[in-house]
């Protein structure tokens, strides 16, 4: 008997659909567009759009996509990442704001915070940061004037003695 009362061998040793889809090339629908950052390409700046973005090379700056972002194995992103769904098989250095779902595959290397209502971290992935499981609205970043305390900031609580 396996985890959650499931028989470990009931599927005949086949990977789950989620595991199978992670390792296959993603095929977009006929009416969608895909932006590809190839293995030999380096983008320094901002990528913004409504279509899927697949990163096999390097991106530094900011990614804001209303569809899927896929960081392929060997791909590197040093940026703030905003997307509807994201699969990381390469390296991400920066915070991710995902409105639906993020998956870190077994080859993922992530250093930064993640805000998403759903997250899947596969065995073997390396993740250094915090996870904030939020609703769709929670994946948005706080307003620039909102002050949030960072974990490494020290706060002082001073108690003044009462005069008698």
User: Which tokens is 27 given?
Assistant: 């095929």
Q: Domain for residue 80, yes or no? A: yes
Q: How confident is the model at residue 162 (pLDDT cuts 50, 70, 90)?
A: low
Question: Are 139 and 115 a contacting pair, CB within 8 Å?
Answer: yes
Q: From residue 148, how far is each of 3, 41, 139 by CA, in Å?
A: 38, 36, 15
Among 65, 75, 87, smallest CA distance to 20 is for: 87
Question: Are 91 and 76 a contacting pair, CB within 8 Å?
Answer: yes
> Is the backbone of residue 117 left (phi > 0), alpha (psi -120 to 50) or beta?
alpha
Q: What is the pLDDT of residue 157?
A: 41
Q: What is the pLDDT of residue 33?
A: 85
Q: What is the pLDDT of residue 68?
A: 96
pLDDT cut 90: percent of the chain above it? 59
For residue 86, what are the domain limits?
31-132
Q: Domain for residue 63, yes or no? A: yes
Q: Domain for residue 57, yes or no? A: yes
Q: Domain for residue 120, yes or no? A: yes
Q: Domain for residue 112, yes or no? A: yes
Number of domains in the chain: 1
Q: Domain for residue 156, yes or no? A: no
pLDDT digits (tens, 9 = 90+) for 20-63: 344 444 444 445 688 899 999 999 999 999 999 999 999 999 99
Question: Are 108 and 87 a contacting pair, CB within 8 Å?
Answer: no
Tokens 């791909």 sit at which residue? 75
- State the average pLDDT over residues 97-120: 97
């Amino acid at each position: 008997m396996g985890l959650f009362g499931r028989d470990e061998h009931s599927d005949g040793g086949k990977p789950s659909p989620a595991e199978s889809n992670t390792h296959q090339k993603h095929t977009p629908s006929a009416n969608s567009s895909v932006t590809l950052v190839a293995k030999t390409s380096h983008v320094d700046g901002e990528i913004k759009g409504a279509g899927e973005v697949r990163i096999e090379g390097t991106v530094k700056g900011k990614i804001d996509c209303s569809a899927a972002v896929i960081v392929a194995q060997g791909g590197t992103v040093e940026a703030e990442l905003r997307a509807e769904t994201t699969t990381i098989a390469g390296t991400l250095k920066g915070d991710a704001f995902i409105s639906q779902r993020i998956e870190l595959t077994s080859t993922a290397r992530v250093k930064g915070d993640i805000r998403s209502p759903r997250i899947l971290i596969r065995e073997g992935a390396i993740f250094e940061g915090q996870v904030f499981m939020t609703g769709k609205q929670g994946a948005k970043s706080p307003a620039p004037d909102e002050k949030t305390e960072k974990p490494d900031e020290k706060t002082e609580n001073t108690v003044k003695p009462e005069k008698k």
